[in-house]
Chain A
Amino acid sequence: MITGTPKPIEEILEMLEPYDNIVVAGCHGCVTVCRVGGQKEVEVLSSTLRLARETAGKDINIKEVSLERQCDPEYVETMRPYVEDYQAVLSIACGAGIQFLAEKFAKTPLLPGINTGFLGVTERQGEWSERCQGCGDCVLHLTGGICPITRCAKQLLHGPCGGSTAGVCEIDKDVQCGWQLIIDRLKSLDQMDNYAKLKPYKGWNASRDGGPRRIIREDMV
């Protein structure tokens, strides 16, 4: 899922200075799973904002909503009947959702309530970690199912570097060396011949370096 972390409340309050009538919009997709932007978080954030603003002598009126997803037009449209009654929308969905709302509701300021993070997985309740960089050219079949672009801090295709110690990356003792993981897995799959091969230079143009990307399914449009 796409993960994110809440923006500090001080930052959000600063964004909300000019407004006293807003929508706080959550999403039932990824951000619900990683507990940063779902219905519950909408409620907690809205309570917090009301208490903070009332204490500061500047009340705020909040409409609390949570959409099925903020990245599909049909669900976004459900906001249209009321969105213009409010001065701004504070969205705690991912950056894609926030931007989509902004596109669809061109007259309404859209404020981000979270810092969108990474594509990741749930290691356990309360812990999520990064797995995919969306590079557009997946090589997981060659690296035992472990991504060198994401899990190696230096995105090496011929790792590990000389800073790998006891399976730990030089940048942080809590970060596993991605290439140690790859080697372990290749060994257990008996695919070590994949290791000692010269790989072609990465085509970063398939990732965001080539510019904002788009997918069109001819059979669907």
Chain B
Amino acid sequence: MKSGSNLEKVLEAGHFSVTAECGPPRGADADHVRKKAGFVKDNVDACNVTDNQTSVVRMSSLAGCLLVKEVGVEPLIQMVVRDRNRIALQSDLLGASAMGVRNLLCLSGDHQKFGDDPQAKNVFDIDSMQLIHMAKTMRDDGVFPSGEELKGVPRFYIGCAVNPFADPYEIRVARLKLKMEAGADFVQTQCIYNMDTFKRYMEDAKKQGLHEKIKILAGVTPLKSAGMAKFMNKFVAGIDIPDDIIKRIADEPKEKQAAKGIEICIEQIGELKEMEGIAGVHVMAIEWEEKLNEIIGGAGLLPRPMVD
């Protein structure tokens, strides 16, 4: 066991794993996190806590992780390289591990121009690839990147993100491979709507045997309305929603669109479960965490397995 985390145990035991996501609040209200964690509890093997997503300041991921842990949910800390240099990142890895966080997701981070502080300094001291490498070096070699010995090794199950829908397509599998080589144990993909593109991506990944070397968790996001679908498709980089999906939701009367969105999400999870090489699903029900039980249960993935 690299980290001994629940997520690692579930995946190593061969179960189809489930993770979800909690966005911390735009303030210091701890109960907000506890409440969301309550919706996630018992529905997942680990829960991501986002790190100032879209550069909008929120309670820190580490604090969110500890609150989530309090409620009895296994946390997964997300770390972007946008805001912190390698000194701060190493320090936060040590801190998170010391506080019992055992899952890590290494990300670039959205550019700060998207948030409320576009005038902030842009750090990017190391990139997400190098952060993966850094976490692995500390865990497996027991040293700082500088070579100095660690007193107490941070043990993380190391994850990365990929976007099969971003351009250029031709290097996306090469990047997954590079992240695996850098030390990633698992990957969570950007949310999938275009199954054809995703299947092609998986075929290309399997040709390189990547599905056996890294655990691939497919990302899904339930759509609340046709409006949300159209908005995301148009304005969010790297999201590709086929017209027929938008139409299925748009054809419903407004008050039934959310239910249709959930239905489609459950279908998608069903399809992903049957795909070779997919080790689990990452359900990003943003600001809709209360629906997690319905979605994950509806996909036949409850109860979650208990692995020692």
User: B-facing mask of A156-175, CB < 8 A → 1, else 0?
Assistant: 11111111111100110000
Pick the 10 closest A-B CB pairs, nearest first: A162-B163, A158-B129, A163-B237, A161-B108, A156-B127, A155-B124, A170-B237, A162-B166, A162-B238, A171-B111
Q: How far is the CA of A32 from the CA of B170 in the complex (A)?
A: 43
CB distance from B97 to the nearest CB of A (A): 21
A-chain residues with CB within 8 Å of residue B182 when the two chains form the complex: 198
A202 CB–B CB distance under 8 Å: yes
| A-contacting 9-mer, from B2-10, B18-26, B173-181, B250-258 | B173-181
Instruction: Tell whether, in the assembled complex, residue A165 and residue B178 are in contact, meaning their CB atoms are under 8 Å apart.
Output: no
Instruction: Tell whether, in the assembled complex, residue B162 and residue A180 are in contact, meaning their CB atoms are under 8 Å apart.
Output: no
Partner among A156, A164, A180 whose Cβ is within 8 Å of the Cβ of B124:
A156
CB distance from A189 to the nearest CB of B (A): 15
Partner among A154, A157, A160, A166 whose Cβ is within 8 Å of the Cβ of B130:
A157
Please give me the residue from chain A that is nearest to B179 by CB atom.
Answer: A158
A195 CB–B CB distance under 8 Å: yes
Interface of A is mostly: loop
B145 CB–A CB distance under 8 Å: yes
Instruction: Tell whether, in the assembled complex, residue B110 and residue A156 are in contact, meaning their CB atoms are under 8 Å apart.
Output: no
B-chain residues with CB within 8 Å of residue A164 when the two chains form the complex: 166-168, 237-238
Q: How many residues in A have their beta carbons less than 8 Å from beta carbons of B?
A: 27
Partner among A154, A167, A171 whose Cβ is within 8 Å of the Cβ of B167:
A167
Q: Knowing A163-B237, A171-B111, A202-B125 are in contact, say whether A158-B167 is a contact too (CB < 8 A).
A: no
B86 CB–A CB distance under 8 Å: yes
Partner among B82, B124, B126, B166 whose Cβ is within 8 Å of the Cβ of A160:
B166
Tell me the A residues contacting B by CB distance below 8 Å: 153-167, 170-171, 177, 180, 183, 195-196, 198-199, 201-202, 204
Partner among A154, A195, A201, A204 whose Cβ is within 8 Å of the Cβ of B111:
A154
Q: How far is the CA of A171 from the CA of B110 in the complex (A)?
A: 9
Instruction: Tell whether, in the assembled complex, residue A162 and residue B111 are in contact, meaning their CB atoms are under 8 Å apart.
Output: no
Other than A164-B167, A170-B237, A180-B168, give 11 A-B pairs with Cβ distance below 8 A: A155-B124, A161-B166, A162-B163, A162-B190, A162-B238, A163-B238, A180-B167, A195-B174, A198-B129, A198-B178, A202-B125
Instruction: Tell whether, in the assembled complex, residue A162 and residue B122 are in contact, meaning their CB atoms are under 8 Å apart.
Output: no
Q: Knowing A180-B167, A198-B178 are in contact, say whether A171-B124 is a contact too (CB < 8 A).
A: no
